[in-house]
Amino acid sequence: MSLFDKFATQRALQSALADGGRVPALATPMDVIHSATSATIGGRRMVLAGTNNYLGLTFDDECRAAAIAAIESHGTGTTGSRMASGNYAGHRALEQAMADAFGWPSAIVFSTGYQANLGAISALAGADDFLMVDGDSHASIHDACKLSAATSIRFRHNDPENLDRRLARLGEDAKRTLVVVESLYSTLGDRAPLRAIVEVTKRHGAWLLVDEAHSFGAFGARGTGLCEELGLLDQVDFIVGTFSKSLGGIGGFCVGRHADLELLRLASRPYIFTASPAPAVIAATHQALRRVLRGQDLRERLMAHARRFYAEATRLGYRLGTATPGPVAALVFSEREAAQALWRGLFDAGVYTNLMVPPATPSGLSLVRISLSAAHSNDELSRIIAALAEWAPKLAAAAG
């Protein structure tokens, strides 16, 4: 009898993914980072196409300078919670800037994106309340359901009719229900039917929280996401996002159309019982936010890359997670071995991507997930597409 007996599934997966001592597909060791789109891995310089660095701001000159200046003036860390000694002027200024970006009265910064969902959702919905979450939600949303004292119910992925039926079953309790969706799903890159979800949610008198982790920075005239792009900001109640994708840092946020969101500072355990983000992270993120808000050039470049990649991958016969081009492009396989072979083939061709396998994926699918960046050069994108072209006939032959 061992505490590790329960990890038989993980042990089998670890063994299946081991590749004879070659660079592993999971937790790939990054040796040297050269830029937002280039790193040395396993002794070779690679194009990075699996980083979520959608705008390429990790190496932005002004963001780096802001981080360095913050270390010089405020030190390396806060060593305290926001409720204690970790409530610096920089944290408060970033929250004000984030609230202003949405035109809403309240914004709360969390130490990670995971904690933003955990902290906002678990505190907003308590005992006697209900959480209604999309079945394909990120782990942070499902974990928030576990932490919350609310009753949690899942509805079918991207299915407003299914949501409608479940809210109808709740009757008057729908008014005590927080509906949670992601605007752009991180595994398949598909978008939520936000207009229909808003309509259903409001018709039942429920509340709506939208996670814009993968769309913040990439969509909307000001870059605040798909709710902005679709003109829905006056109907959504809360938006959660992360600093670790388009903003190039680490941390998360929740903004609210309701000033009472501020009360969560006294109730949200993942907000209270952790140290606040380091000054360098806050300063770089604030600078990145300024760049995002005037970043239409970056968004246009990112979407041009997305349209080109989706067109080429489709032409080559790959099955994509969605037909609508966006910063996430998932090449979908029913067999893990096929995805694993493509991941290795792309790696050997000098392109780093993400391998995603069940149970971390929806519908038992295996994925080679590619994230595009405004920082990719046209030549880098050509190299990614050329590697896919080289592998397309091999995969077709293996599939018979």
Contacts to another protein by CB under 8 A: 9, 135, 142, 145-146, 151-154, 156, 162, 165-166, 169-170, 358-359, 362-364
- Shortest distance, position 169 Cβ to another protein, whole Å: 5
- Shortest distance, position 11 Cβ to another protein, whole Å: 15
Cα–Cα distance measured from residue 232 to residue 183, given in angstroms and rounded to the nearest whole number = 12
Strand pairing category for 151-155 and 366-371:
unpaired
Q: Report the residue number, 364 or 393, with the smaller CB distance to another protein.
A: 364
What residues form DSSP beta bridges with 330? Answer: 369
- Shortest distance, position 139 Cβ to another protein, whole Å: 11
- Shortest distance, position 331 Cβ to another protein, whole Å: 20
Sheet with 151-155: strands ordered across: 106-110, 252-256, 238-242, 207-211, 177-182, 130-134, 151-155
Q: Report the residue number, 153 or 250, with the smaller CB distance to another protein.
A: 153
Give, in order, the Cα–Cα distances in Å from 383 to each of 23, 60, 358, 388: 20, 23, 28, 9
SS (HEC) of 46-103? EEECCCCCCCCHHHCHHHHHHHHHHHHHHCCCCCCCCCCCCCCHHHHHHHHHHHHHHC
Q: Report the residue number, 170 or 272, with the smaller CB distance to another protein.
A: 170
Q: Report the residue number, 166 or 245, with the smaller CB distance to another protein.
A: 166
Cα–Cα distance measured from residue 232 to residue 248, given in angstroms and rounded to the nearest whole number = 26
- Shortest distance, position 98 Cβ to another protein, whole Å: 30
Amino acid, res. 233 = L
- Shortest distance, position 172 Cβ to another protein, whole Å: 14
Q: Report the residue number, 111 or 137, with the smaller CB distance to another protein.
A: 137
Q: Report the residue number, 359 or 400, with the smaller CB distance to another protein.
A: 359
- Shortest distance, position 12 Cβ to another protein, whole Å: 12
Residue 349: Cβ-neighbour burial (10 angstroms; 0-12, 13-18, 19+) = middle
Cα–Cα distance measured from residue 54 to residue 149, given in angstroms and rounded to the nearest whole number = 35
Q: Report the residue number, 14 or 324, with the smaller CB distance to another protein.
A: 14
Give, in order, the Cα–Cα distances in Å from 90 to each of 70, 103, 266, 278, 281: 9, 20, 20, 10, 10
